[in-house]
Structure 1
Amino acid sequence: MMSVLTDVLREARGGATTDRIAANLGIDAGLAEAAVDHWVRLGIVSRSADVLGATGCHGCEPTPGRSLACAGCVFAKRAPGR
């Protein structure tokens, strides 16, 4: 059985924002934020703003329809075949 912390870690590694993590897992946004903070404190994940200084970066959605602002971001995954 997976724990909420493990589920949040999986989602965070996929580039989801805390709001997206909460929605995907059906948990409270505050719980998602606390879980991400836990992994950040341990050095397991980093927030994009901490790494890039990009306060306008909202995380990468795991869909092909990303914002043009995400072009060139090292955290944005390329679409298959590109």
Structure 2
Amino acid sequence: MVTRLVLLVLEVVFVLALLLGVGLWSVPAALVLAGVLGVVAVERTLAGLPGKGPGREPVRAVRAAGVPGESGRSPD
């Protein structure tokens, strides 16, 4: 059975091979691609964490906390 760790290692190897190939063609393009892939990797990791990140808290909890301006009425 293939574990998540093995799949992660394979993914990293393929991404590094892609970056090396692009780097042989154009170093600036490889740096930009590495930056974009780094952001994607961080977002994927944060999406897998329970209860972390923006948009994870229900709207009802924000309204129940009495946050000003969230009631839908204009302030007097």
Larger Rg: 2
- Which TM-score applies when normalising by structure 2? 0.28
Using CA pairs below 8 Å that are at least 6 residues apart, which structure has the higher relative contact order? 1
- Which TM-score applies when normalising by structure 1? 0.26
